[in-house]
Amino acid sequence: MGCGTSVTGSRAKKSERAIKAAILIQRWYRCYMARLEMRRQYALSIFQSIEYAEEQAQLQLSSFFTFMLDHFTYLNETDTGSDVQLLEYERTIEVPDSYRGPRLSFPLTVADTNSLLHAFKDQQHLHARYVLQLLHETKKLLKQMPNIIHLSTSYSKEITICGDLHGKLDDLLLIFYKNGLPSEENPYLFNGDFVDRGENSIEILIILFAFLLVYPNHLHLNRGNHEDHIMNLRYGFTKEVMKKYRSHSKKILNLLQDVYSWLPLATVIDSKVLIVHGGISDTTDLDFLNLFKRNKMKSVLRPPKSSTERNHDPERTDFVEYSPIRRVKKCLPGQDIAVKGMTRPSSSSSHTRRYTSDLLDVGEHMCLLHDGVNSGPLLEAQYLESSVRMPSVPSELTAKEWKQVVDILWSDPKNQNGCTPNKVRGGGCYFGPDVTARLLKRYNLKMLIRSHECKQEGYEISHDGQVITIFSASNYYEDGSNRGAYLKLNPDLIPRFVQYQVSKATRKQTLHQRVSVVEWSALKSLREKLYSRRSELTAAFRQYDPNYTGRISATEWASTVESVLHLDLPWRTLRSRLVQLAPDGSVEYLSCFNDLEIEPAIKEVQPALVETLYRYRTDLEIIFNIIDKDHSGLISIEEFRQTWKLFNSHLKIDIDDESIDNLARSIDFNKDGSIDFNEFLEAFHVVNKFENK
């Protein structure tokens, strides 16, 4: 009896110890997973903060890029011409016998869409002739559609809604593999941002437009904020098209501008679910959005001119004002314009009129004037040793129309009530639950579905279930950074989410390894951001360090970094990953620059200039893409000088011409008077010193 009791007690103790051990292991595992999740969350926050800061910079430069496009659009022949001219151009493009890709015939069939999918899986390109024909047919179809599409689930039972794809073809192919191809029984809605960032944006557009032509009532597209030719200049799509289609890229890109402008702005399902790309504001008016001419909105980044920029008297046709950078003198008929000694005959009279103008103090000459009764306002300008005569077309877009579209393409939800400007992105607004509730009640809706934001799990539900964010580009920032998702909506309007993640390199990695890769990539991007503002940060740090000790408090370091970078990140938490800490807890502030350098170092160039060029390298690339007439990728030293002068005049950066000339000569490695602009961009990238060695 006693022995049995002893055995029973021993077993009980062992069982108790096992339970305690299991509880300890469980606690440790939960803490471990919580730490990994925290690391993944702040890595995502870093990526998003940098992304939104870049978008803000893009919007802040919108007036400058408008100026550039106004001056170089006609120089680069961006007018696509009439449909007849376009068709004639398409017929002149020969498809060689050696071409092994898909050969399309219109109207398209399911066989054509299947051949496109197989070709793109094999990394083939569609010939330029077929691309232009496809875009032309897509434009004709889109022009027949309303601004807001109305759909019903009663016929197909379910509609699949996809969010941002951003050029990630593997995600689109995976969606089709898991969910089936678009068809009458399997309708899809793609909610904008098909292009930019990824490497296969043009292939995604071709696939979506092809399915749209085959199933116009069962595949639907909403416009996103990246269906915008100026956004494409910065975020990679323009460069992708130029690389893949070279001599025909101009026509393709220009036709795409028209296609973008005809994309529907919103979709309503069963009169209860509103789908827009970005969101809403407290002034969103669906009735207004449904009626205005949406093709007037070529780019959100080209807002309508204010009353001070337009002619003060709309009835007058003898002059136009325009001042994107500095002052432009008004010129009336009969006055003289001397553009570097050049004259031009008038098209509106038999005699020659001479014109004179003031010089812009940006090193260039221009004046806006009216050229008689035929062509409206004209611009005479000299850039890059080439006189250009072009119409200056006043925008018909009103401020209300522009704001309505900006709000639905750029806005984000927030948890707090109210509607405030979206200062993080620089466009649209933050809208709260109260704004959502009012709009849904006003239009008798139940739910708002939107995209526009990368979510770690591919989707997010907010505003008490009334707002759903769906994002379909997995691994958006880095392999393993996020899942993609799509949702299926049935007649009961109950969303069903399907998550996925395209995994190649990350498939064999542990969770810890995947998080570490994402975290490392985020911190690398953040260190580069710090390095690009090295001079400003150093000067700001030293205001707290008058004795040059090299150390300041953690609070001072965090507030200084935020005041310069404006990324709204938890700098105190991040400091241990970015800088070295002294034994007393203070920050050795220069240590955040120790591991990085801009390579290759060019001895003839001042360090301050190198830093400035690195910081604005993306903007310089946009400018170059605008003025690169033949898309050769080569830029003359004179073109480089003019590019920098234009940009310098806008940002008021204090760098003299001699420094720019020294830089241009130093990177003209073969001394042929031309610079490979891609090599120039590569010349200004930050590398880790120790990795490099």
Q: Kindly tell me the burial class for residue 344, based on how many C-beta atoms sit within 10 Å of its own C-beta (0-12, 13-18, 19 or more).
A: middle
Residue with tokens 């903007």: 619
Residue 627 — very low, low, confident or very high, per pLDDT cuts 50/70/90? low
pLDDT at 30 over 90: no
User: Given this model, what pLDDT does residue 208 score?
Assistant: 98
Mean pLDDT of 289-307: 85
Residue 259 — very low, low, confident or very high, per pLDDT cuts 50/70/90? very high
Which residue did the predictor score with more confidence, 593 or 395?
593
User: Given this model, what pLDDT does residue 395 score?
Assistant: 52
Residue 307 — very low, low, confident or very high, per pLDDT cuts 50/70/90? low
User: Given this model, what pLDDT does residue 609 score?
Assistant: 66
**108: which 2 tokens?**
């398209």
Q: Are strands 447-450 and 273-275 parallel, antiparallel or unpaired?
A: parallel
User: Given this model, what pLDDT does residue 319 score?
Assistant: 30
User: Given this model, what pLDDT does residue 669 score?
Assistant: 66
- Residue 135 has φ and ψ, to the nearest 5°, of -65, -40
- Residue 67 has φ and ψ, to the nearest 5°, of -60, -45
Which residues, 6 or more positions from 619, have their beta carbon under 8 angstroms from its beta carbon?
57, 61, 234, 647
pLDDT at 586 over 70: yes
- Residue 282 has φ and ψ, to the nearest 5°, of -75, -5
CB 481 within 8 A of CB 517: no
**ω into 107 cis (within 30 of 0):** yes
- The DSSP H or E segment spanning 204 is helix 201-214
Residue with tokens 């399915």: 211
pLDDT at 549 over 80: yes
Mean pLDDT of 234-248: 89
Share of the chain above pLDDT 90, in %: 45
Q: What ranges in 493-550 are assigned the alpha helix state H?
A: 511-532, 534-542
pLDDT at 362 over 60: no
Which residues, 6 or more positions from 422, have their beta carbon under 8 angstroms from its beta carbon?
410, 411, 412, 428, 429, 430
Q: How many CB atoms lie within 10 A of CB 58?
A: 23
CA–CA distance, 229 with 68 (Å, rounded to integer): 13
C-alpha distance from residue 607 to each of 50, 232, 532, 615, 616 (Å): 24, 31, 11, 12, 14
pLDDT one-digit tens code per residue, 649-662: 766 666 677 777 77
- Among 277-281, 620-624, 686-690, top mean pLDDT goes to 277-281
E strand spans, 315-443? 365-370, 377-383, 386-391, 412-413, 419-421, 429-431
User: Given this model, what pLDDT does residue 212 score?
Assistant: 98
Mean pLDDT of 193-203: 96
The alpha carbon of residue 483 and the mean position of all alpha carbons in its chain are separated, in whole angstroms, by 20
User: Given this model, what pLDDT does residue 124 score?
Assistant: 94
pLDDT at 23 over 50: yes
**Which range among 98-107, 313-322, 357-366 shows the weakest confidence by mean pLDDT?**
357-366
**Which range among 122-126, 348-352, 557-561, 602-606 shows the weakest confidence by mean pLDDT?**
348-352
Q: Is the dihedral of CA 577, 580, 583, 587 positive or negative?
A: negative
Residue 309 — very low, low, confident or very high, per pLDDT cuts 50/70/90? low
**ω into 333 cis (within 30 of 0):** no
Residue 160 — very low, low, confident or very high, per pLDDT cuts 50/70/90? very high
User: Contacts by 354-361 with C-beta closer than 8 Å and gap 24+?
Assistant: 355/331, 355/380, 356/331, 357/329, 357/331, 358/327, 358/328, 358/329, 360/325, 360/326, 360/327, 360/328, 361/326, 361/327
Q: Are strands 596-599 and 685-688 parallel, antiparallel or unpaired?
A: antiparallel
pLDDT at 266 over 70: yes
Which residues, 6 or more positions from 261, have their beta carbon under 8 angstroms from its beta carbon?
294, 295, 296, 297, 298
Residue of 201, 94, 199, 218 whose CA lies nearest to 159: 218
**Which range among 12-21, 499-508, 608-617 shows the weakest confidence by mean pLDDT?**
608-617
Which residue did the predictor score with more confidence, 654 or 450?
450
DSSP string, 260-310: HHHS-SEEEETTTEEE-SS---TT--HHHHHHS-GGG-S-TTSPPPPTTTS
* 381: helix, strand or coil: strand
Q: Kindly tell me the burial class for residue 148, based on how many C-beta atoms sit within 10 Å of its own C-beta (0-12, 13-18, 19 or more).
A: buried
CA–CA distance, 33 with 27 (Å, rounded to integer): 10
First to last CA, the chain: 76
- Residue 9 has φ and ψ, to the nearest 5°, of -65, -40
**326: which 2 tokens?**
């500095």
DSSP string, 661-678: HHHHHHT-TT-SSEEEHH
Q: State the maximum Cα–Cα separation within the chain, in Å, rounded to a whole number.
A: 129
pLDDT one-digit tens code per residue, 402-421: 999 999 999 999 999 999 99
Residue of 72, 235, 51 whose CA lies nearest to 623: 72
Mean pLDDT of 474-481: 90
- The DSSP H or E segment spanning 498 is strand 495-500
Q: Are strands 685-688 and 580-581 parallel, antiparallel or unpaired?
A: unpaired
Query: Which residues form the catalytic set?
Result: 226
**Which range among 170-184, 239-253, 410-424, 677-691 shows the weakest confidence by mean pLDDT?**
677-691
Q: Is the dihedral of CA 350, 351, 352, 354 positive or negative?
A: negative
Write down the pTM of the prediction.
Answer: 0.78
CA–CA distance, 545 with 240 (Å, rounded to integer): 47
Mean pLDDT of 64-81: 55
Rg, C-alpha atoms of the chain: 29
User: Contacts by 415-418 with C-beta closer than 8 Å and gap 24+?
Assistant: 415/462
**Which range among 267-271, 355-359, 494-498, 591-595 shows the weakest confidence by mean pLDDT?**
355-359
C-alpha distance from residue 245 to each of 97, 214, 237, 251 (Å): 18, 25, 12, 10
CA–CA distance, 600 with 627 (Å, rounded to integer): 26
Break the chain down into helix, strand, coil percent, rounded to 5: 45, 15, 40
Which residue did the predictor score with more confidence, 96 or 678?
96
**128: which 2 tokens?**
């330029």
Residue of 639, 644, 530, 645 whose CA lies nearest to 589: 530
- The DSSP H or E segment spanning 489 is strand 484-489
pLDDT at 322 over 50: no
Mean pLDDT across the chain: 79
Q: Which amino acid is present at 318?
A: D
Q: Are strands 266-269 and 148-151 parallel, antiparallel or unpaired?
A: parallel
CA–CA distance, 190 with 581 (Å, rounded to integer): 48
Which residue did the predictor score with more confidence, 680 or 157?
157
Residue 633 — very low, low, confident or very high, per pLDDT cuts 50/70/90? low
